């Protein structure tokens, strides 16, 4: 993973802030590049589970699949976990970044693959 300060910027909690409507201009530009382009950016918040035996937080990001990441902090039993993720890059995604939320508070951000 690159040592880039942008990697540590949390992914917004879309369950509270919603999704901003992207410019139609960007979509039109993508259509010029390749007519089969249907989506340029993925942003999602999903439920996550925690296994205290392995210290892993597991979740599924639509399109990208299943992930389990080691938690750098203690997760209390019964804590409400969710993960908000979004692709990085402009027209072609270069990576996927996720922020783990515990009881609606961002606790850490991680690049799941690629560069952000």
89 pLDDT band, cuts 50/70/90, is: confident
What is the 8-class DSSP label of residue 7? G
Decide: helix, strand or coil at residue 94. coil
What is the 8-class DSSP label of residue 77? T
8 Å CB contact between 112 and 98: yes
Domain ranges of the chain: 5-114
8 Å CB contact between 19 and 12: no
Cα separation, 103 vs 99, whole angstroms: 13
Q: State the sign of the Cα–Cα–Cα–Cα dihedral 61, 63, 64, 66.
A: positive
Whether the full predicted model's pTM is greater than 0.85, yes or no, is no
8 Å CB contact between 73 and 107: yes
Predicted local distance difference test score (pLDDT) of residue 25: 44
- Better-scored residue on pLDDT, 86 or 4: 86
Decide: helix, strand or coil at residue 103. coil
Average pLDDT over residues 71-99: 90
* Segment 21-74, tens digit of pLDDT: 544 444 455 445 456 655 557 889 999 999 999 999 999 998 889 999 999 998
């Amino acid at each position: 993973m690159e040592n880039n300060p942008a990697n540590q910027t949390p992914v917004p909690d879309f369950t509270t802030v919603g999704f901003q409507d992207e410019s139609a201009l960007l979509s039109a530009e993508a259509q010029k590049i390749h007519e089969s382009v249907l989506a340029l950016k993925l942003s999602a918040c999903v439920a996550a589970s925690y296994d205290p035996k392995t210290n892993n937080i597991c979740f599924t990001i639509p399109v990208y699949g299943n992930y389990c990441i080691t938690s750098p902090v203690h997760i209390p039993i019964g804590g409400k976990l969710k993960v908000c993720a979004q692709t990085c890059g402009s027209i072609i995604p270069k990576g996927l970044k996720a922020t783990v939320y515990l009881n609606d508070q961002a606790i850490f951000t991680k690049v799941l693959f690629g560069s952000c």
